[in-house]
Structure 1
Amino acid sequence: MFLNLIKTTDDAGNERYRKAALTSLMNVASQAIQMATGLISVPLALNYVGVERFGIWMTLSTALAFITFSDFGVGIGTQDRMSKLAAVGLHGEARGTFTSSMLFAIVLAALLLAISWFVVPRIGLATLFSLKSEAAIRDIVPTTLMVVLVFALGLVAGIVQRAFSALQDGFFIALIQAVSRVLSLALLFVVVSAGMGLPALVFVVGGLSSAAIVAVGTPILLRRYPWLRPERTSLANMFDRQSLHEVLKVGLLGLGASVAIYLVNNSALVLMSAKQGAASSADYAVLLKLVGIPLMVLTYALLPLWPAIAEANAKRDFAWIGHAYKKYKRITQAVAVVSAVGILLFGRQAISMWTRNAEVVPSNGLLLATAGFMVLGFWNALTSVFLNGLSMYRSQATVGLLLAFVSVVVAAYVPSGYGKESIIWIIGCGYFLRCLMMQIQIGSFLRCNRIFPEVKE
């Protein structure tokens, strides 16, 4: 599907398509492994820990994903700045950006772990999540600490991943993730058979990939790009305050955009758990796993375009940007239609056969609402990749955040009698307006640069 995009008369454009296609294919392969792992791990984990503790895990992972925003947008800013610097050959400044961002992420991760170690045990988490079983009450604190550790690892791994992406070498990250997911599945059977508990399950399923990126990805990155290696041994000298300042200027806007889409995508599950208990959200959590498969594949297929667009924009190759947009727009529309029809026709049967647990089979209303939300996710994936590549974060961070906040607040006050799907529909209204705004921005950019007349299909 993506190899046919490697067609252009421009050598630089051809190289962008080649790298994007290679990374996209490896990303899709990696996600295929994750899908296969998920098909096995979800019912295995669900039957091992039970509905309530499974709901705890999914809710904690969703709620504490907000921790990933505690890097103040450094990951996004690092990719944006390194893409531009590498495109014009400013390797010294790119190195300063990478080393400063890595040190910043390491310090933040250490602070996060230290604070959580003292704070989490003193919070009444069992009451907060309306837990009933002794096993769930016993596991809530160690599981929460493990989820925090997983996200702390993710902060550091995120900088390594962003650096690979900025250099259009995301292929290696996808390869590391594919291998680590196979290992994760093997270790999952060990955890279950040995009865090692929910915290170990959380690390094996959620943290192994980040640990692999840090331990394996960093040496590969520095070997492929020797100019990224620190020239000075002193930590103080490795930290470039000006580089970090430039990263934060872009990163904080990117952070706002990320917070907005986080609220849109994850608030429904948290609201369901808070209103009706963790166990009541299990059906939606499993449904999200199912609809997330095609959305995740497309998202990871589109992500390699981000640095390619940034490079093309730095070199003012607007015709290539227009060509790429029209091609990928058609692909996104086709995938969205096929995925939505498949979920609506076969979603309930697939979940029933997959989990063999009638408690997590969704209602038709919940299925319809989630399918519609998934289509908006496809639209957002396409538009956000192009706007990010063009460094157009401001409206995503301001208007997008306002729309997300308003829709979530309105959904929070919906009476429980209206059903769980009403929460999704209300948040979806804000999501639709966000996507529409982003679509208008892209159209304006293409028209202002007179791209469409130059694009030949």
Structure 2
Amino acid sequence: MGLIQKIKNILFGGHERTAKANKNILGSFIIKVVSIVISLVVVPLTLNYVNPSRYGIWLTLSSIVAWFSFFDIGITHGLRNKYAEARAKGDNKSAQIYISTTYGILAIVFITIWLLFLVINPFLDWSDLLKLSPEYGSDVSKLALIVFTYFCMQFVLRTITTIISADQEPAKASLIDVIGQIISLVVIVILVKTTEGSLVNLGIALCASPLLALIGANIFFFKGKYREFKPTFSKVKFSYAKSLFNLGVVFFIIQIAGLIQFESANVIISRNFGPADVTDYNIVFKYFGVLSMGFTIFLTPFWSAATEAYVKNDIGWIRDSMKKYNVLNIFFVLLGIIMLFFADDIYDLWLGEETVNIDFLLSLWGLIFFTVSIFGSKYVSFLNGISALRLQFWASVVSPVVYLILTLVFIEYFKMGVYALFVASVVANFNAFILAPIQYHMIINKGKKGIWIR
């Protein structure tokens, strides 16, 4: 047997579910490498185009608008589980109804929100809200409209990526995002070569490009592989919405916790330290976020595969998969330590010498934060896949409060720097490194039900 054949057997042999996951892991890895390269190129290009302070404004405004994502009420996560369950049972009719109903609900919600924002935006003083110089007022108001329009449209259009991921093919979903990134990169290069730095032009480039990719993906997949599940008005059944909402509302609360904890960071930094520090924080976040992105490549197929395995009572497959993820976890911790050791050199190589001066503590706590997140993510992914969400729900109610209180205390009373936000995030993320592993153990190893499985 040749070497190539042996590799094929390792990657694509064995259980059909595992082989499918391995194919997507390999595809996702290639796609993610391209995504990372593009991201690394886009950041310095963008910084040179609009300068660090303006880039910080873009990041801050994007974070604020992202808060409105909670209006999907977690329905796309509900769709992911319900669609996967329906396909596992061979119930394609219900699968199409769930898809059509999700598109219908999201369209109604986000069109309404967008129209309300059109009315409200002219009366908002963005310069005062973000503590910016008045000279930015007009551009920031225009940028807010651009970004808000993008977020509303993409929340409806991204339903296609949920369907693809639920079908255990996350590599294809990732490819859609990369196509959007490529378009953005091309447009930004053109802007750098032909125009002066402009927040409005930057907003158009970074918002319109991914929308074009999503529109193309919806047309391509619903005319092809998912023709049978194409959303139609006649298949929108609001009676099905109840089951989506029952599951979605729990995901909704969990999403809110994530939004408060992560999307408020840029605003807190901007108000307490300044826009330039928003840039430093996000550079560290992007740098060590590569670890999370890498681990997610391997983990993404697990959510919907776990749904299928649990429905079919294939506990052995779940247990074996978790062992492999734990071994992989150790590798990523070691990789993160190496990244920390060379962080300053890589920042200079990436962004140019003296472009930023990032404190070591900020990098250290950035690494610790992502290490904790990666550890818990495999357990959370399994629990999400089987809809065992009650403990995570209550943790999510408490977590944002813990995060905001700790952030305030660390900054105001202990005079900690920007790294205080990472410290607070680690402590507030107790579900990831305490509750979720215990819950997984009780369900899979102990066979417990009750609160553990709800």
Structure 1 length-normalised TM: 0.90
Question: In the TM superposition, what are the counterparts of 1:309-388 in structure 2 within 5 Å?
Answer: 309-339=306-336, 341-356=337-352, 358=354, 360-388=356-384
In structure 2, the residue corresponding to 1:429 is in which secondary structure?
helix
Question: In the TM superposition, what are the counterparts of 1:79-90 in structure 2 within 5 Å?
Answer: 79-90=80-91
Change over 3 Å in CA distance of 1:192–1:83 after alignment to 2: same
In structure 2, the residue corresponding to 1:418 is in which secondary structure?
coil
In the other structure, the counterpart of 1:271 is: 268
Change over 3 Å in CA distance of 1:99–1:419 after alignment to 2: same
Change over 3 Å in CA distance of 1:264–1:108 after alignment to 2: same
Give 1:270 deviation, angstroms.
Answer: 2.5
User: Within 1, Cα distance between the matches of 2:17 and 2:222?
Assistant: 19
Change over 3 Å in CA distance of 1:137–1:203 after alignment to 2: same
In the other structure, the counterpart of 1:23 is: 24
In the other structure, the counterpart of 1:412 is: 408
Q: Percent of aligned pairs with the same residue?
A: 22
In structure 1, the residue corresponding to 2:224 is in which secondary structure?
helix
In structure 2, the residue corresponding to 1:326 is in which secondary structure?
helix
In the other structure, the counterpart of 2:170 is: 170
In the other structure, the counterpart of 1:248 is: 245
In the other structure, the counterpart of 2:441 is: 443
Match for 2:217: what amino acid? V
In the other structure, the counterpart of 1:11 is: none
User: Within 1, Cα distance between the matches of 2:216 and 2:300?
Assistant: 23
Give 1:27 deviation, angstroms.
Answer: 2.1
CA contact (8 A) 2:221 2:227 kept: no
Task: For structure 2, list consecutive stretches of 5 or more residues without a partner in the other structure.
Answer: 1-6, 449-454
CA contact (8 A) 1:408 1:427 kept: no
Change over 3 Å in CA distance of 1:238–1:319 after alignment to 2: same
In the other structure, the counterpart of 2:298 is: 301
Change over 3 Å in CA distance of 1:128–1:79 after alignment to 2: same
User: Within 2, Cα distance between the matches of 1:250 and 1:310?
Assistant: 14
Change over 3 Å in CA distance of 1:250–1:298 after alignment to 2: same
Give 1:185 deviation, angstroms.
Answer: 1.3
User: Within 2, Cα distance between the matches of 1:397 and 1:5?
Assistant: 36
Give 1:410 deviation, angstroms.
Answer: 2.7
User: Within 2, Cα distance between the matches of 1:201 and 1:240?
Assistant: 40
In the other structure, the counterpart of 1:453 is: none
In the other structure, the counterpart of 1:455 is: none
In structure 2, the residue corresponding to 1:304 is in which secondary structure?
helix
User: Within 2, Cα distance between the matches of 1:200 and 1:392?
Assistant: 44
Match for 1:21: what amino acid? N
Match for 2:276: what amino acid? A
Give 1:359 deviation, angstroms.
Answer: 5.3
Cα deviation, 1:31-90, whole Å, max 9, x if unaligned, reads 211211111111111111112110011112223222222101111000010000010011
In the other structure, the counterpart of 2:395 is: 399
User: Within 2, Cα distance between the matches of 1:105 and 1:15?
Assistant: 34
Change over 3 Å in CA distance of 1:125–1:345 after alignment to 2: same
Question: In the TM superposition, what are the counterparts of 1:63-142 in structure 2 within 5 Å?
Answer: 63-132=64-133, 134=135, 136-142=136-142
353-362 vs 105-114, which deviates more? Answer: 353-362
For residue 259 of structure 1, the aligned residue among 256, 260, 284 is 256
User: Within 2, Cα distance between the matches of 1:5 and 1:437?
Assistant: 32
Change over 3 Å in CA distance of 1:373–1:66 after alignment to 2: same
User: Within 2, Cα distance between the matches of 1:342 and 1:407?
Assistant: 28
Question: In the TM superposition, what are the counterparts of 1:208-287 in structure 2 within 5 Å?
Answer: 208-230=209-231, 235=233, 237-287=234-284
Cα deviation, 1:269-323, whole Å, max 9, x if unaligned, reads 3311121222332211211121112212222331111111101111111111111
CA contact (8 A) 2:80 2:163 kept: yes
122-131 vs 411-420, which deviates more? Answer: 411-420
The reply on whether 1:48 has 2:49 as its aligned counterpart is yes
Give 1:246 deviation, angstroms.
Answer: 0.7
Match for 1:190: what amino acid? I
Task: For structure 1, list consecutive stretches of 5 or more residues without a partner in the other structure.
Answer: 9-13, 451-457
User: Within 1, Cα distance between the matches of 2:35 and 2:81?
Assistant: 27
Give 1:133 deviation, angstroms.
Answer: 7.0
Change over 3 Å in CA distance of 1:413–1:211 after alignment to 2: farther
Change over 3 Å in CA distance of 1:221–1:302 after alignment to 2: farther
In structure 2, the residue corresponding to 1:420 is in which secondary structure?
coil
CA contact (8 A) 2:291 2:370 kept: no
User: Within 1, Cα distance between the matches of 2:105 and 2:67?
Assistant: 18
In the other structure, the counterpart of 2:191 is: 191
CA contact (8 A) 1:5 1:327 kept: no
Match for 1:306: what amino acid? W
Give 1:5 deviation, angstroms.
Answer: 6.1
User: Within 1, Cα distance between the matches of 2:397 and 2:121?
Assistant: 28
User: Within 1, Cα distance between the matches of 2:205 and 2:182?
Assistant: 11
User: Within 2, Cα distance between the matches of 1:73 and 1:160?
Assistant: 15
Match for 1:439: what amino acid? P
User: Within 2, Cα distance between the matches of 1:194 and 1:65?
Assistant: 30
CA contact (8 A) 1:263 1:405 kept: no
Change over 3 Å in CA distance of 1:198–1:2 after alignment to 2: farther
CA contact (8 A) 1:77 1:254 kept: yes
In the other structure, the counterpart of 2:148 is: 148
CA contact (8 A) 1:411 1:423 kept: yes
Cα deviation, 1:100-135, whole Å, max 9, x if unaligned, reads 10111122221222122222231121012121273x
Change over 3 Å in CA distance of 1:427–1:175 after alignment to 2: closer
- Superposed CA RMSD in Å reads 2.3
Match for 2:183: what amino acid? L
In structure 2, the residue corresponding to 1:398 is in which secondary structure?
helix
